[in-house]
Chains A and B, each alone.
Chain A
Amino acid sequence: MTVLEARKVSKQVSSPEGVLTIVHDISFAMNGGDSVAVVGASGAGKSTLLAILAGLDTPSSGQVWLDGQEITGLDEDGRAAVRSRSVGFVFQAFHLVQSLTALENVMLPLELTAVTGAKAKARAALSAVGLEARANHYPSQLSGGEQQRVAIARAFVNKPVILFADEPTGNLDTTTGSKIADLLFSLNESTNTTLVLVTHDRSVAQRCKRLIELDSGHLLSDLRLR
């Protein structure tokens, strides 16, 4: 079943040098449980494409279907509803709320949708990433790897259909990075989510089932690895 499909997606932005096309006519589809790595040089348009696919941003033209719904036809709040229901995120810069504890950060998506039993679910998610002992610590008291594990727990806590990760290991050293990647892939397996992963790290990219390469906003290649 297709959970994500992009059709002729383009994005243009205005800059001092005039209108720039930073994503060109990109089309592709993903089935449930699949995982894809998006690679390319810095400035190739990976984050821009990810934002469009996840409904964080709108394309200048083209359509995107996410979890059976055309998100390009929705308004901001409509897309927000789709995100809260079907999408999880992991970011390069972790993006934990500094004033919240680890547990509270994980509870955030549940609180937003007023799910009952938020605390228990959040605890479960934290222990799934091995951080139950640090539940009441603030982000500033955690290392980068630990912060990213909290972010991963937060991404999985409401059982998303699809997970978007933008360079989740980019801010971490190689060892920690590969541990985070392990965690991400094993959760991806066990919960059967679909994974869209932007990364510069070839070894992380190789672990995906599929590899998409961008160059200056163009889709250069789309390889199935396994």
Chain B
Amino acid sequence: MIPMVVFALKALGREARAGELKILFAAIVVAVTAVTAVAFFTSRVSDAFMQQAAEVLAADLRLESGRPLEINNSYTAKAHELGLRVARTTSFSTVLFNGETSQLTSIVGVSDGYPLRGTLRIANDLEGLGIATMELPQPGEAWADARILGLLGIPLGASIRVGSLSVRITHVLAYRPDQGTMFSALAPTLLLAESDIPNTHLLLDGSRATWTLLYAGAAHDIAQFQTWLHTYKSASERLVAVSESSEQLQRTLERATRFLQLASLSTLLLAAIAVALTARRYSQRQMSTIALMKSLGATQRFVFYVTALQLFVTAFIGAIVGIVFGWMAQSGLMWLMQDLIPTSMPPPRVATAGLGLAVALITLLGFALPPLLRLRNTPPARVLRQTLEPAPLSSLINYSSPLLAFSVVSYLLVRDWLLIGYALCGLFCVAVIFGLAGTLFVRMTTKVRGVAGVAWRYGISNIGRRGGESVVHIAAFGLGFAALLLLSVIRGELVSDWQRSLPRDTPNHFLFNISETQITPLNEMLASYGVSLPAYAPWVRARLVAINGISMQSQPRALTERGRAFVEREQNLSWSSKLPLDNQVTAGAWWNDNSQSSPQVSVATEFKDELGLKLNDVLTFDVAGETVNAPVTSIRKVRWDGFRPNFFLVFPPGVLDSMTGTFMTSFYVTHEGRKGLSHVARAFPNITVLDVGKIVDQIRGLMERAALAVQYVFVFTVLAGVMVLLSALEGSRDARLYEAAIVRALGASRRTLLTAVAVEFAVIGALAGVLAAGAAGIAGWFIAKHLLGVAYHFSGALWILGGGGGGLLVGMIGLLATRSVVSSPPSMALRGH
């Protein structure tokens, strides 16, 4: 064993200069770099995204209840057992007074440790953005929203009465992580110490208030705790997890991750093709040496181990280099993302390095094993008769080995059998079609010989003469181009979808509580800040009391957490004659001028799904004591991420108009115009202004970075594609060298030869490109629609890019790579080989 290893390593040292080992090395480096960079990156970024999303809850998990939660109940014990951090908040609404002025305020009492995620920001004036703080209001102190001070007209440092408690307002509360957006933020917040809450004497038995337990900890502890709570919590307690809180972030992250996974799968596939081609070439080149060694007495086992060890060591070193590069590339990605990722990131996981190594070795094993097994069977009599070759392996080993390896590695990478299943089916179909098309084409070239010029004839006839190899090239280049084209179209669709979803003029302000008479003066005022006529949506609050005449208490259907919230909480009902922006009717029909006179309701898909509604189900609402019956006449899919007022429940005009509702609106205002909005608040004290600019910016930033990350990773895929090209060319190098020498010895000029090479490769490349464009178009449509949920646009440019680009690229690289072949003096090639 030892001498064998020593021998293999020595021989490796000598073989290292050979082209195919260099390419094998490079292919492994590229694959491992891409795979580890993406893995390092996605694991760290998804942690970071989760952290960011967790900010919205100020925790990883919240348990909300309408009744007081005991401080040291069994939940807390379980949480401590799992090593989770716990904090509490108590919140309720009350009216604060300053002389004659009053303001509805949300009082929030917080315990030590709050917030568990994100940080509070405080300021010392009304306009400031505030600075982050780790402190909390002490007993006797309060931090107040600027709006409270503004609306009540009291200065910072003054005292204010909250029930029977008097507190001094020591800071302006500029931001708290769980302040919420939209409807929940109607009333401004006054933040108190938890221990002060009883002293207000406002919370009598039966008062409406929300008691919340906040939990934070390691992801899998939280997950465990969440399952536990689901079983043990009482029905009236509501569990809110991160994933529900920030659909937008979640979806962006999911899509970006999906894409990165696709990219790393493609990179892997390309690298694997390169590995397979180089291993094939390696075994071809080694065949004579192996025959010689066998004639000198080497056993099959020996030659197999020696060759396997050589490839293994090459791949191993390649993997180590790849892991280092992957880590560096990942740092680059992190740098791109730095201002989005809040605090300290968890370090990259060691397991990821293991993943890189596993990917390299399994890929090598699967894709290089068949040629090595065949190489092992080289007949020793080849030393006497150069044309002797080992018998081909059974196609079972030939195909199952790479397939198995690819499946295993794919699983290590994406852990999603469905995706892998799609990938493998797609690959299989594409490989078969490309193979057949390639064979057909090669056959054709043997017939069309009469075309112009000797160079063309020689080039085209070369394709036919190297029949088998040409088919392999067409299939390999085709797969490579398909992967590249596919990724680039998908990437394009993804990025433009992101850009579409949050255009520059995405609304960054919401106004609530607008009365009908205020709309006209408000519009005038807004116009002076550069805001042109926003759309106003009217709404009232109502409770769903029955479906099809059966009261909600007697409904048979078991509801999810969210479904219960729809039933238990007041819903916001709106009305409109036109289908609002960002809405799409998926069932039934939106009303027209004739049909809108009767009471009816259009529900959003979420509402329909949670409550199991069908068209024509009759919903009964209690709107401020009045009963409204309305059949469901349409179902709408709503894009909630457009930052426009949107509602689960929309009625036609005329049904709810008599109710005293208010209007809300949202609009985009420039940075300069923004300052004017404080005048709006002063001119219309009842109107609540909510600035969501920061959220929009944050999400947009996230998407832009995700898009950038996606481009960045794409570079590796391109590199892997280049490896495929190089390895394919390397494969025919010897034969080319020899033939070129003969043809030149017979008097062909360099020019003729070069043209012939260019023609040969360009034709192969163009065909591969056209085939690839077809495959990429179909796969792109499938992936966009079914895996990423974005629109897909077929484009003819793909074919032009595929055919033209493929021809040009392969032709040029072919030329460059074989230039030396053509340039070397014929005598050298004829003598050396």
Contact = CB atoms under 8 A, between A and B. Distances in A.
A111 B14 CA distance: 15
B384 interface: yes
A83 B18 contact: no
B220 interface: no
Interface in A79-99: 80-85, 87, 89, 91, 93, 95, 97, 99
Interface stretch (B293-301, B488-496, B696-704, B800-808): B293-301
A97 B289 contact: yes
B14 A100 contact: yes
B288 A95 contact: yes
Categorize the interface residue count of chain B.
Answer: 20 to 34
A51 B293 contact: no
B383 interface: yes
Interface in A56-86: 56-57, 76-77, 80-85
Q: Determine the main DSSP class of B at the interface with A.
A: helix
B632 to A, nearest CB: 78
B385 interface: yes
B381 A57 contact: yes
Given A80-B297, A95-B288, A97-B289, A140 B832 contact: yes
Interface string A161-181: 000001000000000000000
B300 A76 contact: yes
B721 to A, nearest CB: 30
B296 A81 contact: no
Contacts of A99: 11, 14-15, 17-18
Contact of A95 (B7, B292, B298): B292
A50 B384 contact: yes
Interface string B361-404: 00000000000000000011101111000000000000000000
A83 B383 contact: no
Q: Which of B293, B295, B381 has the most CB of A within 10 A?
A: B295
A80 B300 CA distance: 9
A47 interface: yes
Contact of A84 (B11, B298, B379): B298
A111 B296 CA distance: 10
A56 B299 contact: no
B3 interface: yes
A89 B14 contact: no
B299 A77 contact: yes
Interface in B1-34: 3, 7, 11, 14-15, 17-18
A113 to B, nearest CB: 7
Contacts of B11: 99
B297 A47 contact: no
Contact of B302 (A51, A100, A112, A166): A112
A51 B384 contact: yes
B383 A95 contact: yes
A145 interface: no
Interface string B257-300: 00000000000000000000000000000001100111111111
A183 interface: no
Contacts of B293: 108, 112
Contacts of B300: 76-77, 80
Contacts of A166: 384
A133 interface: no
A97 B295 contact: no
A68 to B, nearest CB: 17
Contacts of B299: 76-77, 80-81
Contacts of B3: 111, 114
Contact of A80 (B294, B385, B386, B832): B294
A76 B378 CA distance: 11
Contacts of B14: 99-100, 104
Given A50-B384, A56-B380, A57-B379, A84 B289 contact: no
Contacts of A51: 381, 384-385
A28 B611 CA distance: 96
A113 B3 CA distance: 9
B297 A113 contact: yes
Contacts of B292: 95, 97
A89 B296 contact: yes
A84 B385 contact: no
Interface string A16-43: 0000000000000000000000000000
Nearest to A57: B381
A109 B381 contact: no
Interface string A107-151: 011011110000000000000000000000000100000000000
Contacts of A84: 296-298
Nearest to A79: B380
A91 B292 CA distance: 10
Contacts of A109: 296-297
Contacts of B296: 83-84, 89, 108-109, 112, 154
Contacts of A91: 383-384
Nearest to B3: A114
A109 B7 CA distance: 11
Given A109-B297, A111-B7, A112-B297, A56 B384 contact: yes
Contacts of B297: 80-85, 87, 109, 112-113
A83 B295 CA distance: 7
Contacts of B18: 99
Contacts of A80: 294, 297-300, 380
Nearest to A139: B832
Contact of A112 (B288, B298, B381): B298
A111 B379 CA distance: 21
Contacts of A77: 299-301
Contacts of A85: 297
Contacts of B302: 112
A225 to B, nearest CB: 25
Contacts of A113: 297
Nearest to B296: A109
Nearest to A50: B384
A108 B3 CA distance: 12
A85 B289 CA distance: 19
Nearest to A85: B297
Q: Which of B14, B300, B379, B381 has the most CB of A within 10 A?
A: B381
Contacts of A47: 384-385
A99 B832 CA distance: 12
Nearest to A112: B298
A177 to B, nearest CB: 18
Contacts of B379: 56-57
Interface in B286-332: 288-289, 292-302
A87 B385 CA distance: 19
A81 B300 CA distance: 11
Q: Which of A56, A76, A104, A109 has the most CB of B within 10 A?
A: A56
Nearest to B4: A114
Contact of B381 (A56, A93, A111, A140): A56
A89 B289 contact: no
Nearest to A87: B297
B542 to A, nearest CB: 85
Which 7 A-B residue pairs are closest in the complex by CB-CB distance? A84-B297, A114-B3, A57-B381, A99-B14, A56-B381, A51-B381, A77-B299
28 contacts: A47-B385, A56-B379, A57-B380, A76-B299, A76-B300, A77-B299, A77-B300, A80-B299, A80-B300, A84-B298, A85-B297, A89-B295, A89-B383, A91-B384, A93-B386, A95-B383, A97-B289, A99-B15, A99-B18, A100-B14, A108-B296, A109-B297, A111-B7, A112-B7, A112-B293, A113-B297, A114-B3, A154-B296
Given A50-B384, A93-B386, A99-B17, 20 more contacts: A56-B383, A76-B380, A77-B300, A80-B299, A80-B300, A82-B297, A83-B296, A83-B297, A84-B297, A85-B297, A87-B297, A89-B383, A95-B288, A97-B292, A104-B14, A108-B293, A112-B7, A112-B298, A112-B302, A140-B832
Interface of A: 47, 50-51, 54, 56-57, 76-77, 80-85, 87, 89, 91, 93, 95, 97, 99-100, 104, 108-109, 111-114, 140, 154, 166
